[in-house]
Structure 1
Amino acid sequence: MTKYSPLARRVDVPSTLTTDYLSTLSAQDETALLSYLNLPPLGAFDDQAGPPALGSDAAYEIEAQTRLPLLARREALGGRFASLDDLRDLANVSDAQIATIVERLGDLSRYGHSLRPVWGGPESLHALIELLENAERYIHISMYIIGGEIGMRVARILAEKRKAGVEVRVMFTASGFVISGSPSGTGLVSKLSFARQQVSDRYLRARIVQHMLDNDVEVVDTAPLARHWKRQSFRERGIRDAASYYRWCRAEGLRESWIAEQEALDRVITRGMPYVDHRKMVVVDGKRALIGSMNIADSYFYENELAEDPRVNVKRWQWHDNAAILEGGAIAELNHHFACRWSLSGGGTFDPDDALYQPPNERRGEAIVTQVASVPGLLEMPMRRNWSRLLLSMLGADRRPLVEGSHPIRDRIIQLPELAQQQLHVEHCYPSDAGLLERWSERLSKIPEFVMVVPKHYDTVLMGLECDRFFPDMQAAGARLYGFNQAIVHSKIAVADSFYVATGSYNLTVRSARMDLELQFFVQDSTFGNAVRERICGDLARCVPIEPTAIDRFRSRRSIPLLDALIRFFLF
């Protein structure tokens, strides 16, 4: 099928839906059509260019002249189309209008996906190892962190796959101050454990990289993100300044859109600020991918079940996180994101549109996927507008940073409570974006059920202080907040009305919008949405209700002089 063209919406059509047309649809088209029409909005929200324009016809992929008669019929049937027979003899909807929808669903870069949630260390580890071991043509890994014993285990698997002829490319932060969570290499049991872990972690990362290089696995360090001509690997090629770097990019045939992205990063990124590539993906053969918020390290992937005593898990540095296995045409776009950063960072060039990397698309399910990649510089915290707020915060006033700009992931996440008509379930590790949480709180009274799982235990004390101060206001607005008590939680997932899921690498922090390369997926699918909601609700058994302390209530209205100014304006 050809890709859907929005211009097809405007064609004048007869106002009759005939039995003859419906009978020509294949079983696959019938399943896809019914699944699409049974989504809560009836059809999907139009979220490709940005957040759905709620309050107008433009919020939906199906125009009102088609959508409203279908919605009325669905409601008359009790809220669901069971078969194509339910569409017959429908007034004011024509064959051409339904044909336009069927044609749209043939765009398998957006429609026809399957997603399966994988939750917690053991289940996620099994899914990751199975994914890698089944690779036949290529493996592309982009991670923020690879470390610990699981990092070495993955490196050994990649080495074996490379010997078997599989192409393997790996990108991650291989240098700098990054804690991967590898207690098995340090024994995280003493007051010196943090320092010991840092030393051990750098050693393990070096071993992991060396093992991969020794076995012909291609590796690129994602740090630093900008001014690549300062890298030793480029200096060895005689590239020592911006002009020679960009001449090299064009000589290598890199796409102008990729070069423009790097030029923007070079303008935005300054020395001393911790800008990172925070994206997370494992792509195999162009058919399957592991996506979500999990790094490849012992904190995220482990074989044992979590202990009942949270102190044991915190001491082991074993966290609670989740990911998903994605199948479908959206993986081609994942490869484009990978190829962009890989090539710009000096990893060599490959054509992500080559048949090797893009197998023929097949319908794998009924999920609709919008993936959004972001770069630093889209959201700013200009000091010209924040000096007075900073000074007042240093003196104890509650002055929160002002930000400027539009961020494609943040804007969509801000809107989640507006998309939810009945319920919103969230599990996030670092909820500290004041502007985002304030917008959420304004909407909470209109949602019958808002459940949010947040950390009971944090990996850093300062982050915990900053997050906890928002909880009194959120609870006053109607949020039911639960602290995950069995381990440190690292999840970054939300689902509205059991069908609209936001998952990926993005944290609910201003720094994610300002400083990190992020990758987020917005999925419209009742099967995946229900599964995510059930997993979040299942986690409630390991939670305790959030009970704000006196200091939380104080900090929701005031600031601790100096300390809060540092946290709010410079750290998170």
Structure 2
Amino acid sequence: MLAFLSSNIWVILIAINYLLVILVAFTIVTKNINPTKTVSYIIVLVFFPFFGLIVYYLFGQEYRKNKIFNRKHILNQKVITDVSRRLEPNRQEMKDLKDDLLDDKIRLVKLLHSSENSPLTINNDITIIKNGENKFKLLLADLRKAKEHIHMEYYILRDDKIGTQIIDVLCEKAEAGVTVRLSIDDVGSSVSRKNKRRMIKSGVQWFSFMPVLFPGFTGKMNYRNHRKIVIIDGQIGYIGGINVSDTYVNYDNSEKYWRDTHLKIVGESVKSLQIHFLMNWEFVSNKKIEMEESFFPKGDCKECVAVQIAASGPDTDWANIMEVIFTAIVTAEKYVYLTTPYFIPNDQIITALQVASKSGVDVRLIIPKDSDSWTAKHATNSYIECLLEADIKIYRYCKGFIHAKTMVVDDVFATVGTTNMDYRSFNINFEINAIIYNENKTLELKSHFFEDLQESEAIDKERWLNRPQLEKLKESYCRLWAPLL
């Protein structure tokens, strides 16, 4: 018997693999998820023995439906209820905002308002930050002024030059009595044991989000916290695409120019950022956290920029950010200007962009010419032809790598945040965006878009259609993996 098993071990293992594949495939089909995603999973399971099962185990679980991220303890606390009630604009404020600006964009406000913790806030001051070197100059100055608490949540934090500067300040403030809470993603971040011990010794409270055994080998095949937010004393907030790493800073000796966008927020919407941070903190620390009034101090912001904070991920009932982007596109009347480093959208977004363009809306898209991912680059390229056929203008950024995640619509709506235009950001990762309803800020972001166009090349439709067949084959292959990227 043992001789038979040893001589036929691979046959037995393959048989077991495909028995499990049949069971998993049945489970996937009965879930009635997106057909493209269903087919992608089944292809991986059938053609990649063992590896396919690992991919599904790490990546295919529907955490949003399974509710493993429990946030009810925080949401049910009286302090959160009172904060949310105070943030609600009164009827006159809503009427003034609707009459002056929103028009039919009020649908966006209502869409987000129906989700948890996305109240429309009126009194905000927004600073649009272009590139990492400018962000960190402002952030370091604000961190040094912190008096009560510093809350940070990052997908990537590396203890290189800029990361060490940030860690130094966090340790200094913790030693001075400021409460410092830091959450970093275990796959995206890389901090030495020395600096981890130093933070603990200084009093910095830090946790890794969903720790993994071998982060260098897991890549993206699991649910990650892709957010990049900072809240200082409950009054200043940062949100956008810029992680804590030298890669995001354009030093004199940087190998590649990095173009990115971030926001500094002072005002009521910082309280929404605070709530989302605290929900994540309770998850990563595995401790019940009681809300304190000091987390939500009264502000004296006199600016009137209307903002909603939209968050999505396995802890939300709906794909909130994707729904907002979709609704903004289909309600656009003049233009939609999109910038994204990864364009691997779902069918809803593709259809929305096509319909908008064919209806006379000026739709333009900036993507990188040189991506940091071979698979993502070719998967993105596979979508270009159908957009060009709908007369959508597509540009490839040539100066370096464009990592900004922005959208501007009709001089009245804009969004800046962590969300890429891809399956992973829409459905898998924890993401967060600021939704801005303000003409001046929208026009500022619009001007940045046209500045980036000056560093970009337009894709010519005829030349693109005649690209080499080998390129088309690469695109088709990578597109099969699109729902899994």
What is the aligned partner in structure 1 of residue 338 from structure 2? 426
What is the aligned partner in structure 2 of residue 111 from structure 1? 122
Give the one of 100, 116, 120 matched to 2:131.
120
- Tell me if 1:297 matches 2:240: no
Q: Distance in 2 between matches of 1:143 and 1:296?
A: 7
Deviations 1:349-386 (A, max 9, x none): 4434x22211114344212222222123879xxxxxxx
Letter in 2 for 1:514: N
Letter in 1 for 2:172: E
Deviations 1:312-337 (A, max 9, x none): 85xx2552111001111121222121
Give the one of 146, 171, 174 matched to 1:159.
171
* 1:551 CA displacement: 7.6
Gaps of 5+ in 2: 1-84
Counterpart contact for 2:358–2:390, Cα < 8 Å = yes
- Tell me if 1:214 matches 2:152: no
Letter in 1 for 2:224: V
Name the SS for the 1:370 alignment partner. strand
Deviations 1:30-86 (A, max 9, x none): xx98666331528x6143452699xxxxxxxxxxxxxxxxxxxxxxxxxxxxxxxxx
What is the aligned partner in structure 1 of residue 18 from structure 2? none
Letter in 2 for 1:410: M
Deviations 1:271-310 (A, max 9, x none): 9942101111011111111111111111213444xxxxxx
Give the one of 256, 276, 282 matched to 1:343.
282
Q: Percent identity?
A: 19
Counterpart contact for 2:378–2:475, Cα < 8 Å = no
What is the aligned partner in structure 2 of residue 12 from structure 1? none
Counterpart contact for 1:51–1:415, Cα < 8 Å = no
* 1:524 CA displacement: 0.6
Q: 1:376 to 1:33 in 2, by over 3 A?
A: closer
* 1:3 CA displacement: 5.5
Q: 1:286 to 1:129 in 2, by over 3 A?
A: same
Q: Distance in 1 between matches of 2:468 and 2:290?
A: 54
Q: Distance in 2 between matches of 1:145 and 1:294?
A: 9
Counterpart contact for 2:183–2:207, Cα < 8 Å = yes
* 1:223 CA displacement: 2.2
Give the one of 414, 423, 440 matched to 1:510.
423
Which has the higher Rg, Structure 1 or Structure 2? Answer: 1
Q: 1:277 to 1:34 in 2, by over 3 A?
A: same
Give the one of 31, 39, 45 matched to 2:101.
39
Give the one of 199, 211, 228 matched to 1:280.
228
Name the SS for the 1:276 alignment partner. coil
* 1:509 CA displacement: 0.7
* 1:476 CA displacement: 2.5
Letter in 1 for 2:482: R
Q: Distance in 2 between matches of 1:212 and 1:328?
A: 30
What is the aligned partner in structure 1 of residue 181 from structure 2? 169
Q: What TM-score results when the alignment is normalised by the length of structure 1?
A: 0.61
Letter in 2 for 1:119: K
Letter in 1 for 2:332: A
Letter in 2 for 1:212: M
Gaps of 5+ in 1: 10-24, 54-106, 181-201, 231-269, 305-311, 380-405
* 1:501 CA displacement: 0.9
* 1:530 CA displacement: 1.2
What is the aligned partner in structure 2 of residue 368 from structure 1? 306
Q: Distance in 2 between matches of 1:479 and 1:561?
A: 19
What is the aligned partner in structure 1 of residue 293 from structure 2? 355
Name the SS for the 2:447 alignment partner. helix
Q: 1:374 to 1:555 in 2, by over 3 A?
A: farther
Letter in 1 for 2:210: A
Counterpart contact for 1:472–1:553, Cα < 8 Å = no
Counterpart contact for 1:121–1:303, Cα < 8 Å = no
Q: Distance in 2 between matches of 1:5 and 1:318?
A: 41
Question: Comparing 426-435 with 559-568, which one deviates more in the overlay?
Answer: 559-568
Name the SS for the 1:333 alignment partner. helix
Q: Distance in 2 between matches of 1:446 and 1:51?
A: 25
Question: Comparing 499-508 with 204-213, which one deviates more in the overlay?
Answer: 204-213
Q: Distance in 2 between matches of 1:477 and 1:37?
A: 33
What is the aligned partner in structure 2 of residue 254 from structure 1? none
* 1:415 CA displacement: 2.2
Q: Distance in 2 between matches of 1:207 and 1:358?
A: 34
Give the one of 105, 122, 141 matched to 2:152.
141
What is the aligned partner in structure 2 of residue 238 from structure 1? none
Q: Distance in 2 between matches of 1:568 and 1:368?
A: 35
Q: 1:467 to 1:49 in 2, by over 3 A?
A: same
Higher helix share: 2
Matches within 5 A, 1:163-562: 163-173=175-185, 175-176=186-187, 178=188, 202=190, 204-224=191-211, 273-304=221-252, 316-346=255-285, 348-352=287-291, 354-376=292-314, 407-435=319-347, 436-547=349-460, 549=464
Q: 1:528 to 1:205 in 2, by over 3 A?
A: farther
Q: Distance in 2 between matches of 1:362 and 1:36?
A: 24
Name the SS for the 1:415 alignment partner. helix
Q: Distance in 2 between matches of 1:335 and 1:4?
A: 13
* 1:482 CA displacement: 1.6
Q: 1:212 to 1:51 in 2, by over 3 A?
A: closer
Name the SS for the 1:452 alignment partner. strand
Q: 1:565 to 1:363 in 2, by over 3 A?
A: closer
* 1:466 CA displacement: 0.7
Q: 1:552 to 1:293 in 2, by over 3 A?
A: farther
Equivalent residue pairs, number: 392
Give the one of 125, 129, 137 matched to 2:140.
129
Counterpart contact for 2:314–2:429, Cα < 8 Å = yes
Letter in 2 for 1:351: E
- Tell me if 1:567 matches 2:485: no
Deviations 1:416-466 (A, max 9, x none): 222321122211111111412232112112244223221111011111101
Q: Distance in 2 between matches of 1:562 and 1:412?
A: 29
Q: 1:215 to 1:109 in 2, by over 3 A?
A: farther
Name the SS for the 1:45 alignment partner. helix
Q: What TM-score results when the alignment is normalised by the length of structure 2?
A: 0.72
Q: Distance in 2 between matches of 1:452 and 1:271?
A: 27
Letter in 2 for 1:411: E
Name the SS for the 1:41 alignment partner. helix
Counterpart contact for 2:394–2:458, Cα < 8 Å = yes
